[in-house]
Amino acid sequence: MQQRNSGNRRPSGTDGSDFSYRMVVDNRYTKVAKGKSTLSKLLIIQAVVVLVGAVDILFTLLKEPLDSLAAASVSVSFISIVIGELGRKRSRVNFLKLYMVASSIGILGSIASNVEVMKSAPLGLGKWETDKFDLLKVAWVFAGLFVQIFSVTKTASLIGNMSPPKRAS
């Protein structure tokens, strides 16, 4: 029985002339694999941002009544992350398109619910101690917007690479 040796030896049974018969993976499939990996990381980051938004809603709920727009936007964002993960794992273009739309609606809802906070955010350091929580809300919204822009561009690129190439007739 022949033992396997590690190293850069030629496989047994070939003289190296079969190179032209070996298959090459199409560039589009490697782009899909890289895009799925990047989207997975973006979905995790987006889930952390949504979790911070949910904690913000819970802390705000202790002081004042529930902001229904903020709660709805966090809910839509969470559902869109689940849809995006399903679309990424199963390579479903329709799920990824739905993820892009739903997550965009979610981030627009969180921006709309925090417009008043953004208008009254302190510009100087004098009000820093009293409005730390409001500054964190503004930072959370901008972080969510940044992640959203990046994830939409990566998802659109992934969808373009997943779709079969158009053939001219």
pLDDT value, residue 1? 47
126 has a pLDDT exceeding 60: no
d(CA 109, CA 131): 22
Confidence (pTM): 0.79
Q: CA-CA distances (angstroms) from residue 152 to 103, 116, 126, 157?
A: 9, 26, 38, 9
Q: Which two tokens stand for residue 125?
A: 């350091």
pLDDT value, residue 14? 63
pLDDT value, residue 71? 92
